Structure 1
Amino acid sequence: MTSSYGLRGRAVVVTGATRGIGLASARAFAEAGALVCVSARDADQVRRVAGELGGVGLAGNVGDPSHARALTDLCLETFGRLDVLVNNAATNQPFGPLMDADPEVWREAFTVNVEAPLRLVQYAWRGWMREHGGAVVTVCTEGAGHVGPGVGAYGTGKAALLHLTQQLAGELGPGVRVNSVSPGLVRTEMARFVWEPGESEIAAGLPLGRIGEPQDVARAVLWLCSDEAEWVTGADLLVDGGTRVRAARTRDAYHLPGA
């Protein structure tokens, strides 16, 4: 799928790496010749993916500080380096109106979606990147820029993650670049409840005419971590099929021909 992008031999940690965007990203790095360390909750799936990619893996919850530390230690002990960190793992719970949100579940969402990415960057920085440099990408969401029904906790957490990404970019340069990708609607299991009931209608409203695939986002992640993006930090790359500009598709409002 890709050239090496200068990533051959570099060690990469990808969280939430057994499905969706995380899996597609881990595969892209492996195809580029990187050494891949993966994390997810399901031990069987972690073993499967690590074996497929010729890398290593550790099952656990990234919200658990001991798992985050063990994951970065595993990468350093196995490969002797940790050049790239992809903070992809996330939860979209609690789903529903914020007035009904369980405070304990809300806190868990922030632990996984905001606190864990910061902790992993801290461990990567102290273990390798402070002395040797590196690249970090956080997976945010196009939805962090607006509100929507049921996704208040998720969107608020991702908006915080976006700011965290930019703050880290300012603090960790020039040696470490920190960027984010913000996908639109992508065909993942987490987003199935959104795209499955009305995929054709949603796709018809997008300038590029389809919802996203995990590899669409993985290509952006790979590029941001590569030498090709060596003068890019603090950026948020929209990978959304034109979601932000879809209002221009409403041609009937202007009595314009065609669609």
Structure 2
Amino acid sequence: MSDDTSPTQSKASSSVPKSGRRFEGQVAVITGASRGIGLGIARRLNAEGATVVLTARKPEALSEAVAEFPDGTALAIAGKADDPAHRADVFDTIAEKFGRLDVLVANAGINPVYGPLVDMELDAARKIFEVNVLGTLAWVQDAVHHDGLKFRENKGRVVTLSSVAGQVPSEGIGFYGISKAAVSHLTKTLAVELGPDIRVNAVAPAVVKTKFATALYEGREEQVASAYPAKRLGTPEDIAGAVAYLASDDADWITAQVLTADGGVVTAGGGA
């Protein structure tokens, strides 16, 4: 599951590869980054040298998150991911302060309902699609078309957050899975359209231990993890490592791919 909320995790210096600071001098924006997977990604990219711009809905949580980063290496801009004015504010601020954008991580996502599709309120489905799919597309569109970011010139990289729920039916989160299937296809289509200047890939997690996914494992973590060949659930750091790889020059010949980060559960016959 991709998300923007989670319990406390380790600080930005954790899990940096021996290869060093692959994002030195680069600027990255991560949506939905006040907690959870998004914050984990911001920590990892920052630890490898990137100046990171974090966005999320709640200013207080976002300010608290940014406070942990070294001075001058992180910036918080609060707003709703599906709000055009917020996206314009983010990209105008990046252009003014840094004059470039190198990495866009479209992590923000929602799932406000749980239950069978047949009983789902259609307004809730529209909102999920608006944020998870159209919001992801809009962030990419705005980054590509903003002259002050030089996203194409910098050989920009986009990493979206999909989910294994978009690969196999998952009980109770059916429309969330549908939206993430759309994100996966959106990712591939954008990669074809934007190459060779911009690479676009996705990471599709299974259950990651965050507040967003609590309902999928709380009180039965050992039972849920038993279906995973890795015999554990994911962590934000697991997903951050995958995102950092796809956003780095180490993946320079990789685009239009969906990297499944699931501890092997889909291959073993499970799902989200």
Q: Does structure 2 retain, via aligned residues, the 8 Å contact 1:139–1:182?
A: yes
> Shift in Å at residue 206 of structure 1?
1.3
Q: Does structure 2 retain, via aligned residues, the 8 Å contact 1:13–1:37?
A: yes
Q: Does structure 2 retain, via aligned residues, the 8 Å contact 1:93–1:154?
A: no
Taking the aligned partners of 1:90 and 1:49, their CA distance within structure 2 comes to 18
SS at match of 2:28: strand
Count of aligned pairs between the two proteins: 248
> Shift in Å at residue 246 of structure 1?
2.0
Structure 2, unaligned runs of 5 or more = 1-14
> Shift in Å at residue 247 of structure 1?
4.2
Taking the aligned partners of 1:5 and 1:125, their CA distance within structure 2 comes to 25
Q: Match for 1:201 among 210, 214, 223?
A: 223
SS at match of 2:204: strand
Q: Match for 2:159 among 137, 140, 144?
A: 137
Taking the aligned partners of 2:269 and 2:111, their CA distance within structure 1 comes to 26
Q: Which residue of 2 aligns with 1:10?
A: 26
Taking the aligned partners of 1:227 and 1:215, their CA distance within structure 2 comes to 20
Q: Which residue of 1 aligns with 2:202?
A: 180
Taking the aligned partners of 2:258 and 2:154, their CA distance within structure 1 comes to 24
Q: Which residue of 1 aligns with 2:80?
A: 61
Structure 1 residue 25 corresponds to structure 2 residue 41: yes
SS at match of 2:46: helix
Deviations 1:123-150 (A, max 9, x none): 1111222333210000100111111222
TM-score normalized with structure 2 length: 0.87
The structure with the largest alpha-carbon Rg is 1
Taking the aligned partners of 1:37 and 1:162, their CA distance within structure 2 comes to 24
Taking the aligned partners of 2:126 and 2:266, their CA distance within structure 1 comes to 29
Q: Which residue of 1 aligns with 2:145?
A: 126
Taking the aligned partners of 2:194 and 2:230, their CA distance within structure 1 comes to 36
Q: Does structure 2 retain, via aligned residues, the 8 Å contact 1:15–1:87?
A: yes
Taking the aligned partners of 1:150 and 1:206, their CA distance within structure 2 comes to 19
Which runs of at least 4 in structure 1 moved beyond 4 Å after TM superposition? none
Q: Aligned Cα RMSD in Å?
A: 1.4
TM-score normalized with structure 1 length: 0.92
> Shift in Å at residue 175 of structure 1?
0.9
Q: Structure 1 vs Structure 2: percent identity of aligned residues?
A: 40
Q: Does structure 2 retain, via aligned residues, the 8 Å contact 1:68–1:116?
A: no
Structure 1, unaligned runs of 5 or more = 249-259
In the TM superposition, what are the counterparts of 1:1-259 in structure 2 within 5 Å? 1-3=15-17, 4-53=20-69, 54-127=73-146, 128-247=150-269
Deviations 1:137-177 (A, max 9, x none): 00100111111222121011000111000000000011100
